[in-house]
């Protein structure tokens, strides 16, 4: 669950930096990679994920069902159920890319893919900007 995931990330990061600091004697943002701190941090994160997830309440069934309902595509269509709309995936439709019918209603059919692609590029741009800003620190 989310509590286990959050705790695991926190424990793994903190342990990784503690182990690297104790090994090198200096606190830096990026350390030279060595397998021991990474392995211990990963193991501690996994154990924390398991323990905290077991000790905290499960996520509400309605929230989990709503999350997975958003992932249904045409391949998940069940006969007799309402038709799944606006969930066509461009990559799965590769066989029709060069047909005229593929491009009709393009923005409606592949809205999810298009916005996901744009959001991914926005995220990449933000990461590059953050990296550039970090490199400007003297």
Nearest to 42 by CA among 19, 26, 65, 59: 19
Residue pair 21/37 in contact (Cβ under 8 Å)? The answer is: no
Judge whether 86 lies within some domain. no
> What is the per-residue pLDDT for 108?
73
pLDDT tens-digit readout, 16-48: 999 999 999 988 888 888 999 999 999 999 999
Tokens of 97: 């890319």
Judge whether 66 lies within some domain. no
Which DSSP state fits 92?
A: G
> What is the per-residue pLDDT for 76?
63
> What is the per-residue pLDDT for 90?
66
Domain count, the chain: 2
Last residue of a domain, one of 39, 59, 79: 59
> What is the per-residue pLDDT for 85?
61
**Which of the four pLDDT bands, split at 50, 70 and 90, describes residue 11?**
very high
Judge whether 17 lies within some domain. yes
Taking residue 15's Cβ as centre, other Cβ atoms within 10 Å add up to 18
Judge whether 132 lies within some domain. yes
pLDDT tens-digit readout, 43-81: 999 999 999 999 999 989 998 888 877 776 666 667 777
Judge whether 24 lies within some domain. yes
Judge whether 121 lies within some domain. yes
| Side-chain-facing half-sphere of 78: CA atoms under 13 Å | 4
Range of the domain at 115: 109-137
**Which of the four pLDDT bands, split at 50, 70 and 90, describes residue 89?**
low
**Which of the four pLDDT bands, split at 50, 70 and 90, describes residue 92?**
low
Reply yes or no on whether the pLDDT at 134 is more than 60.
yes
Give CA angle at 128 (42, 134), nearest 5°.
Answer: 75
Judge whether 8 lies within some domain. yes
Nearest to 70 by CA among 112, 121, 125, 117: 112
Judge whether 95 lies within some domain. no
Which DSSP state fits 55?
A: H
pLDDT tens-digit readout, 93-124: 667 777 777 677 777 777 777 888 899 999 99
């Amino acid at each position: 669950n989310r509590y286990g995931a959050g705790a695991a990330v926190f424990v793994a990061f903190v342990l990784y930096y503690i182990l690297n600091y104790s090994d090198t004697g200096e606190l830096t943002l990026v350390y030279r990679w060595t397998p021991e701190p990474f392995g211990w941090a990963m193991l501690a994160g996994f154990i924390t994920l398991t323990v905290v997830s077991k000790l905290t309440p499960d996520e509400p069934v309605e929230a989990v069902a709503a999350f997975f309902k958003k992932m249904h595509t045409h391949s998940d269509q069940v006969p007799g159920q309402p038709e799944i709309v606006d969930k066509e995936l461009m990559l799965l439709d590769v066989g029709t890319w060069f047909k005229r019918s593929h491009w009709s209603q393009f923005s409606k059919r592949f809205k999810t893919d298009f916005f996901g692609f744009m959001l991914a590029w926005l995220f990449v741009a933000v990461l590059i900007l953050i990296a550039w800003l970090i490199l400007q620190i003297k």
